[in-house]
Amino acid sequence: MSGNKSGKLSYGMVIDVDKCTGCMTCAVACQQENNVPFREDETNKVRSITWLEVFYLDNGKSYPDHRKAYLPRPCLQCDADPYPPCTFVCPVNATQRDEETGLVSHIPVRCIGCRYCISACSYHARYFNWWDPKWPKPMEEMLTPEVSTRMRGVVEKCTFCVHRLQLAKDKAFAEGRRELDDGEYVPACVEACPAKAMVFGNLSDSHSEVAKLAKSPKAFRLLERLGTKPKVIYLSGQEWIHKLADNVI
């Protein structure tokens, strides 16, 4: 069923769209955590880098039946068998799914910037650095040392904050543990969400909250028909949101 071979660990995320208030804290926390560059004009959304992007949805109806919702979209960490679309096309092996964790990594220093993966991704989750990142003078001090900065000409994307997994493992190893406890590894977006609309954990562990939520009748995945098997699962009780998820984004 899953492309992830170990079957023991499969990190995934459940985002409750009905609980999401559209506050965008997840996106801001992500940018801060992952040294995502920012420019004076970020309104050309094709060239703006947002590892976690927030999609705007509405039911298309007119006043006063109009309803909108926001849908946070990190990298969906596709579990497609045998490869996620992006890693399949990479000519230099710069992106790869870690079969022990299910995480789809992207190593910018290895990337040659061909952007093949960008066209392969169905979710616009990958971004190209059209410019060298620049931080106005003292802002370099706020860069997270656990995430390397990128450069012009390479692709980057959400990694589910894999450096947090590395740090969590470091701590566990130092304490003589091989296994991580629940909640020891949580991406920045999930941690920051003030409405607690995002849940993160091991989808392979049937006792985990994510695994339970993923089985909810309200659950859906984006563009499910493509068979990309995203490990980011959305919840909503709204039919129009389910419909949009399948067809439009």
Positions 13 through 72 that interact with other proteins (CB under 8 A):
16, 18-19, 21-25, 27-29, 31-33, 35, 38, 40-45, 48, 50, 54, 56, 58, 60-70
Nearer CB in complex with other proteins: 29/121: 29
φ/ψ region of 115 (left if φ > 0, alpha if ψ in -120 to 50, else beta) reads: left
230: closest CA among 54, 50, 84?
84
CA separation for the pair 249, 234 (Å, rounded): 14
- Which of 3, 83, 88, 99 binds other proteins (CB under 8 A)? It is 99
Residue 224 interacting with other proteins (CB under 8 A):
no
Nearer CB in complex with other proteins: 211/241: 241
Residue 77 interacting with other proteins (CB under 8 A):
no
Virtual CA dihedral for 135, 137, 139, 141, nearest 10 degrees? 120
Minimum CB distance to other proteins, residue 175 (Å):
7
Minimum CB distance to other proteins, residue 128 (Å):
16
| Binding residues among 113-172 for other proteins as defined by CB under 8 A | 132-133, 135-151, 159, 162-163, 165-167, 169-172
Minimum CB distance to other proteins, residue 225 (Å):
26
| Binding residues among 165-184 for other proteins as defined by CB under 8 A | 165-167, 169-176, 178
Nearer CB in complex with other proteins: 106/221: 106
